[in-house]
Chain A
């Protein structure tokens, strides 16, 4: 269990720069999500921390050791792969014990730690099964047990839940979080699923084109994105065109910034909203009922906005579709132009 620090790391594959002067710190015991579109360099960053790639320049520290030129097998990490990568020729217990045997842990101790790890992931009864006899969720748990049984300094997860179906994924998210808390291991995990990143982690790093765009706690990154890309990647956003800005209360200088809102921060009303609220006129194009929630597509000054609210909070709309769309000034998104 250690702090991981990546400083000024640059990685190149032939002509393409996969990581461009990346610096980021992962606190001891934290659960950190690396999020970005495909090709953003998130998996490269994870595999560079793991030691599969060696950076062209920069340093990587795990605990108090510089490891940028140490190969993966000497870095003392635990890693979980997208397809689990369980060894098909070994039983569940042998899979979990592999790293212990490599480290020449005495047999009795090995047995004890395997059964502890199995208990931790609640798979005690399946120790003698082969990976081919397990369900997707069970394989996932074995892979997790195998990655942490050696008490590595850091746990690296490469899109660990993407192969599971939706319901199982939510269960495993809760499970993963519980186990990570219980073990207290520094965890870095790569995902392209923003909801998963927001749910699981206590810090998020957003990557784009091999650079870290923004890093911080999930709520902060969601509520205060630094640019349009981050705002759009972590959720949806409506952007205010320049002509609408005059009558609004804005938290920053107009110059050099763009302003927007999250769809769920908006309210819709037929009458003029209270003073102190930011409000613009709009024309409702479509109202989409989806059970508890509803989505409205509204034309605001020529651009299409999206509003998401509880269906019962959306009032009866006037016949001509002309409405007020309002939000609290503090909910305004401010990003670099």
Chain B
């Protein structure tokens, strides 16, 4: 393709692409390179005049079993949250894309996007108010039900999952919605004319055709959830120690940037590895 372009066309392409790539270079690549550099240091140059280069920060991950255990815990959290987002989000996207038309769809869409418009800290603290013992949820349930309900959801893994699902659900709904929306309604009509039930149409037509969108949404949820620290810290309390919170501690509390950086890059490597391993599945889904 590129060889076939005229010089003027090539110049135009370069002038259109370069702002974005310059920005990415400055905003992503440079800080990330700096972090990569830090991760090999014994101490930060501005604090420690005797700083040197070492692999010890990466070694710590393998020497101390807490780190792999926490990473595993975070990966499991990512799977749970992604799973719930798909279970809740995909049916929602399906109904929005294929059953609801006109104004009602716009209104429902607004409600899907609403979490994006509120500050994430406000969102999480609202959940804290709802979930805590004798909080909004428990009081409502006790008001409605004749028997006493003690949920005590606050500071549990469930609370963390609830908060994260709430934050990341829109990604799955939006990507799935776009994929489902692009499927021609005539395909569904054709399948029905051949005698297919709703379930068959979902299984053999809608799900395969919208899988790229669904998987894109799943990746958009899984990756940040594995590294999340705010929701685990506020909603998880004492149980809310995850891989992300440990990294945050290195930067904010312990002030051990090299270790924090090394742990971050291990996370990045693991996430990339997972995506690489699943990419054949993604590719097959697309054709």
* Interface residues, chain A, with chain B CB atoms under 8 Å away: 50, 52, 71-74, 76-79, 81-83, 85, 87-89, 98-99, 102-103, 146-147, 150, 156
Chain A, Cβ-Cβ closest to B183: A88
Contact A89 B186 (CB under 8 A): no
Q: A79 CA to B187 CA in the complex, in Å?
A: 11
Chain A, Cβ-Cβ closest to B285: A89
B2 interfacial by beta-carbon distance below 8 Å: no
Our pick among B184, B194, B208, B209 for the contact of A99 (Cβ within 8 Å) is B194
Contact A79 B190 (CB under 8 A): yes
Q: With A79-B190, A87-B205, A89-B209 known to touch, is A102 a contact of B184 (CB < 8 Å)?
A: no
Residue picked from B189, B190, B191, most chain A C-beta under 10 Å: B190
- In the A-B complex, list the 10 residue pairs whose CB atoms are closest, starting with the nearest: A99-B194, A79-B193, A85-B186, A85-B190, A89-B208, A102-B195, A81-B186, A72-B192, A73-B192, A102-B196
Contact B186 A102 (CB under 8 A): no
B197 interfacial by beta-carbon distance below 8 Å: yes
Q: Interface code B171-190, partner A: CB below 8 Å = 1, 0 otherwise?
A: 00000000000001011011
Q: A294 CA to B145 CA in the complex, in Å?
A: 88
B200 interfacial by beta-carbon distance below 8 Å: yes
Given pairs A73-B196, A76-B195, 9 additional interface contacts (CB within 8 A): A52-B189, A81-B186, A85-B189, A87-B191, A89-B205, A89-B208, A102-B194, A102-B196, A102-B197
Chain B residues near A150 (CB, 8 Å)? 194-195
Chain A, Cβ-Cβ closest to B286: A89
Contact B184 A103 (CB under 8 A): no
Residue picked from B186, B193, B196, B209, most chain A C-beta under 10 Å: B193
Chain A residues near B191 (CB, 8 Å)? 87, 98
Q: A72 CA to B191 CA in the complex, in Å?
A: 10
* Interface residues, chain B, with chain A CB atoms under 8 Å away: 184, 186-187, 189-197, 200, 204-205, 208-209
Q: A50 CA to B195 CA in the complex, in Å?
A: 11
Q: A74 CA to B200 CA in the complex, in Å?
A: 14
- Enumerate 9 A-B pairs (CB-CB under 8 Å) in ascending A order: A73-B194, A78-B194, A82-B186, A83-B186, A89-B205, A99-B195, A102-B194, A102-B195, A156-B193
Chain B, Cβ-Cβ closest to A90: B204
Contact B193 A88 (CB under 8 A): no
Chain A residues near B194 (CB, 8 Å)? 73, 78, 98-99, 102, 146, 150
Our pick among B189, B196, B204, B205 for the contact of A81 (Cβ within 8 Å) is B189
Chain A residues near B189 (CB, 8 Å)? 52, 72, 79, 81, 85
Chain A residues near B197 (CB, 8 Å)? 73, 102
Chain B, Cβ-Cβ closest to A47: B189
Q: How far is the CB of A336 from chain B (nearest CB, A)?
A: 38
Chain A, Cβ-Cβ closest to B184: A85
Chain B residues near A85 (CB, 8 Å)? 184, 186-187, 189-190
Q: A99 CA to B197 CA in the complex, in Å?
A: 11
Q: A97 CA to B192 CA in the complex, in Å?
A: 14
Q: A73 CA to B196 CA in the complex, in Å?
A: 6
Q: How far is the CB of A314 from chain B (nearest CB, A)?
A: 48
Contact B195 A74 (CB under 8 A): yes
Q: How far is the CB of B260 from chain A (nearest CB, A)?
A: 45
Q: How far is the CB of A50 from chain B (nearest CB, A)?
A: 6
Q: With A52-B189, A81-B186, A83-B184 known to touch, is A88 a contact of B209 (CB < 8 Å)?
A: yes
Q: With A102-B196, A102-B200 known to touch, is A81 a contact of B209 (CB < 8 Å)?
A: no
Chain A residues near B186 (CB, 8 Å)? 81-83, 85
Contact A103 B209 (CB under 8 A): no
Chain B residues near A99 (CB, 8 Å)? 194-196
Chain B, Cβ-Cβ closest to A50: B193
Chain A residues near B204 (CB, 8 Å)? 87, 98
Q: How far is the CB of B170 from chain A (nearest CB, A)?
A: 27
Chain A, Cβ-Cβ closest to B185: A85
Q: A76 CA to B195 CA in the complex, in Å?
A: 7
Chain B, Cβ-Cβ closest to A79: B193
Q: A87 CA to B207 CA in the complex, in Å?
A: 12
Q: A82 CA to B192 CA in the complex, in Å?
A: 16
Chain B residues near A103 (CB, 8 Å)? 195
